[in-house]
Amino acid sequence: MLFDSHVHFGDWDGKVPVETLYRKMMDEMDENGVDRFNINVCGRCPSSPGALRLADALWFKRRQPSRVTVFGGLDWGGATDGGAAPLIPFRTQLDRLKQVGCDGLKLLHGKPDRRKELGHPLDGDLCEPIYAWLEENDWSCVWHVADPPEFWNEATTPLWARRNGWWYDATHPPKSQIDAEARRVFAAHPGVRFVLAHFFFISQDLQGASDLLDTFPNLFLDLTPGVEMFHNFRKTPEAARDFFIKYADRIVYGTDIGMGAHTTGPKRGWMVRHWLQSGETFDVPDDLYMLPDDRTELTGIALPDDVTNRILGANFAAILGADSPRLLDAAALRDLCRDLLADAEASGLHDEAAHLLLAELA
Ligand SMILES: [Zn+2]
């Protein structure tokens, strides 16, 4: 079973029709032989003021109920720039995500630009109710914490990332601070199954990754590029292979397919799988979020099938548990879409998926 734990769906600008994006996603998943995939909803904050794109993911799930799961996102309005509290309390938002039929939570507030905008520590009082709710409700969470260390220096940031504005200066919290805040959350909420996106950006330090997984038994690492992780593993291929075999139950397949209104290249899923399964050296596929870079080749680590089977599907299915995919609640979904539309109208935004869902549920 091939289960992609980390894809995105929707256009922040609301310009590309939902049906167009749907077709692109389904074609790519079919071509890749993906059995199930998990749409990550990144949440909404003032610096990315598009619609929440929650309706998009739920609309997709309604159309592909056995194939799609949704990790919902939060509206951070009111909480950013050190604001006192979110406009809608996090617990209320989380209750609603559960009620409509989401399968888990996506958090992006650890990404350095988001963390800077938030103006609160990840382990502070403002965010604490989120983690407490996750623990009380036995919900899993894909959490993006920090970014590759080289992104804190413009000179060492790869060109593709600089083009996306993904490099940081002294106004951003340093990686060490963001990591330390997250580690205090792991320690305070050891029951939460956090899937740390992009290998927690710790691929340059496999001993550190090993210590992290040994200390916190409910943490997992996803393989969503962050292509730098594969470049880092190439420096010590035997140590990387040993790590993947030792922690075969703690690593999950992900791709970020669909990011940026599906502007990701068509071969990133193949790239991750080929790296796991083959021992070949191959070119980094063309992709807005992986090239240009000085490093243009990867070398696979040829893992045995029993290891790749767990990483490519079984692990994430186990993280979600037996009641996933959760059923959508039509009445709750209608209420949510009405609220999303009212919010979009008040903000001068277009939420096509909320319109579509309301029409379908009428
Ligand atoms: Zn992502």
- Which residue from 232, 259, 200 is spatially nearest to 6, judged by alpha carbons? 259
pLDDT at site 108: 96
Neighbours of 323 (CB within 10 A): 9
CATH numbers and ranges of domains, the chain: 3-361 (3.20.20.140)
Q: How far is the CA of 259 from the centre of ligand 1 (A)?
A: 7
292 Cα: distance to centroid of ligand 1 (angstroms): 20
pLDDT of residue 48: 76
Decide: 271 and 300 in contact? Cβ < 8 Å: no
What are the pLDDT digits (tens) for 250-274? Answer: 999 999 999 999 999 999 999 999 9
Ligand 1 center to residue 362 CA distance, Å? 32
Distance 135 CA to ligand 1 centre (A): 23
Q: Tell me the pLDDT band of 12, cut-offs 50, 70 and 90.
A: confident
pLDDT of 160: 93
| pLDDT recorded at residue 120 | 97
88/70 Cα distance (integer angstroms): 21
Gap from CA of 178 to ligand 1 centroid (Å): 18
What's this model's pTM, rounded to 2 decimal places? 0.97
Instruction: List, for residues 114-134, the tens digit of each pLDDT value.
Output: 999 999 999 999 999 999 999
Tens-digit pLDDT profile for residues 281-315: 999 999 999 999 999 999 999 999 999 999 999 99
Ligand 1 centroid distance, CA of 353 (Å): 20
**Dihedral of the alpha carbons of 104, 326, 307, 182, in degrees to the nearest 10:** 10
Check: CB of residue 314 under 8 Å from CB of residue 1.
Answer: yes
51-83 pLDDT per residue, tens: 789 999 999 999 999 999 999 999 999 999 989
* Percent of the chain clearing pLDDT 70 (strictly above): 100
Residue 164 or 330, more confident: 330
Q: In angstroms, what is the span from residue 223 Cα to ligand 1's centroid?
A: 11
Give yes or no for residue 152 having a pLDDT over 90: yes
Q: pLDDT for 223-256, tens place per residue?
A: 999 999 999 999 999 999 999 999 999 999 999 9
Name 37's bridge partners.
4, 68
10 Å CB burial of residue 150 (0-12, 13-18, 19+) is: middle
Mean pLDDT in the chain? 96
The predicted pLDDT at position 165 comes to 84
- Between the CA of 10 and the centroid of ligand 1 the distance, in Å, is 12
Strand pairing class (68-72; 104-110): parallel
The two three-digit tokens of residue 177, written as one number: 């601070």
